[in-house]
Amino acid sequence: MSSRTKSIGILTAGGDCPGLNAAIRGVAKAAMHYGMSVVGVQDGFRGLVENRTIHLDGQSVSGLLTQGGTLLGTSRDKPHKMRMGSEVMDMTEVAIANMKKMNIDCLVCIGGNGTQKNAHRLRQATDIGVLTLPKTIDNDVGSTDITFGFDSAMCIATEAIDRLHTTATSHHRVIVCEIMGHDAGWLALGSGIAGGADVILIPEVPYDLEVVADHLRERRKHGKRFSIIAVAEGVRSILEVEAGEAEIAMLKAGEKKKKRKKSSPGLHVSEDGIPLVQEAVASRIARRLQTLTGVEARVTSLGHVQRGGQPSAADRLLATRLGTKAGELLADGVYDVMVAVQGTEILPVQLSEVAGVKKVVPPDHPWISTARLVETSLGDRR
């Protein structure tokens, strides 16, 4: 088969996650199978602007499947808003000029929500094609059932919760485990259910600490002298949500936003309003629950551990499927799409339909009902 695409560039952008190297390998090997030449762009969109590239061939992608991280490096830089020295500049035209120097027909961008938006914005400014793959441990990219990196991170978080059970049981403590997820609770919800957490708090379900404390006290009454709480880092209480809605209503009504010394429950400021310490949400929850229940509470924050290490078998398979499908689409000359998982199929979705769309946990999702049926509290009164 003769490929309509002769040369491609590949970059990885945004946060790192397991499976990036497997995806690079999948795209590159499939592209080479169809006779394309492959250029690797280093360190995301910044490498594109600074024209830092490497040639990818069969030898350079050999052995990548099982490796964590990314051979190409990554960054969170945006072409249209990039810091260059002491200034923030629009480097879109420079990025496009370098793409033309590379003589590529299409740029393959592997990343999460931010990458989808940046790739779409770049495509609108050039006639060079763009194709994307969805990756993120948060699983919050729209139009795809799952992103690679999610399964690996969920396995890591589940193992951490498993390990916390032993120390919580031994010391009869409440242990709050903070898991990544600013706006979407897929990771905390999935690992919380798999790890048997007694309470799971996610951004999509505003919580009431009195409800959580009641649940913990009820467990103690039934002889369960320890509890594990899985908390997504972006959770908000019912009071915080209501306060935010009230502030939005005030702004819509034309009222000026008043200066506050404390803009959130975890933010401490000096007398002149300078932020001093941002208390982690898990720490704040643990401290207040210890006061409400009288039970000793401890905090574990998994942080970037969730992004590290080798990809799981599921992520290796998924990243390879996405990558090879990308190669097939490129051979057919299909650009301006994200390669998505829908059911059992890998399908192209128009990038314009994906950019700016975040997938959060819906209230009627089966995982929500599953958690409730095994008597896991979600911090609300339902």
Whether residues 274 and 321 share a domain: the answer is no
What is the pLDDT, as a whole number, of residue 169? 87
Residue 329 placed within a domain: yes
Residue 298 placed within a domain: yes
| 338 contacts 348 by C-beta, under 8 angstroms | yes
Query: How much is the average pLDDT of 232-240?
Result: 93
Residue 136 placed within a domain: yes
pLDDT digits (tens, 9 = 90+) for 247-273: 777 776 776 555 444 444 445 554 555
What is the pLDDT, as a whole number, of residue 382? 80
- Count of domains forming the chain: 2
Task: Please determine, for residue 219, whether its predicted confidence score (pLDDT) is greater than 90.
Answer: yes
Range of the domain at 30: 7-148+311-343
State both tokens at 361: 């946990």
Whether residues 39 and 124 share a domain: the answer is yes
Angle between helices 313-331 and 20-33 (to 10 degrees): 30
Residue 11 Cα distances to 50, 65, 151, 177, 203, angstroms: 13, 17, 22, 33, 31
Task: Please determine, for residue 366, whether its predicted confidence score (pLDDT) is greater than 80.
Answer: yes
State both tokens at 227: 């509890």
Residue 255 placed within a domain: yes
| 167 contacts 187 by C-beta, under 8 angstroms | no
**Catalytic annotation, pick one of 43, 138, 151, 315:** 138
Determine whether 138 is an active site residue: yes
Cα-Cα-Cα-Cα dihedral sign, residues 151, 152, 157, 159:
positive
Whether residues 19 and 125 share a domain: the answer is yes
Q: Looking at this protein, which amino acid is placed at residue 349?
A: V
pLDDT digits (tens, 9 = 90+) for 303-352: 999 999 999 999 999 999 999 999 999 999 999 999 999 999 999 999 99
State both tokens at 133: 């793959």
Whether residues 226 and 103 share a domain: the answer is no
Whether residues 18 and 163 share a domain: the answer is no
Q: Indicate the helix (H) or strand (E) that contains 217.
A: helix 209-221
What is the pLDDT, as a whole number, of residue 257? 53
Whether residues 175 and 191 share a domain: the answer is yes
What is the pLDDT, as a whole number, of residue 245? 72
What is the pLDDT, as a whole number, of residue 18? 96
- The Cα 81–Cα 52 span in angstroms is 19
- The Cα 78–Cα 73 span in angstroms is 15
Query: How much is the average pLDDT of 17-30?
Result: 98
Task: Please determine, for residue 78, whether its predicted confidence score (pLDDT) is greater than 60.
Answer: yes
Whether residues 76 and 188 share a domain: the answer is no
On whether the pTM is more than 0.85, the answer is: yes
Weakest mean pLDDT among 155-164, 167-176, 180-189, 275-284: 275-284
Task: Please determine, for residue 97, whether its predicted confidence score (pLDDT) is greater than 50.
Answer: yes
| 188 contacts 232 by C-beta, under 8 angstroms | yes
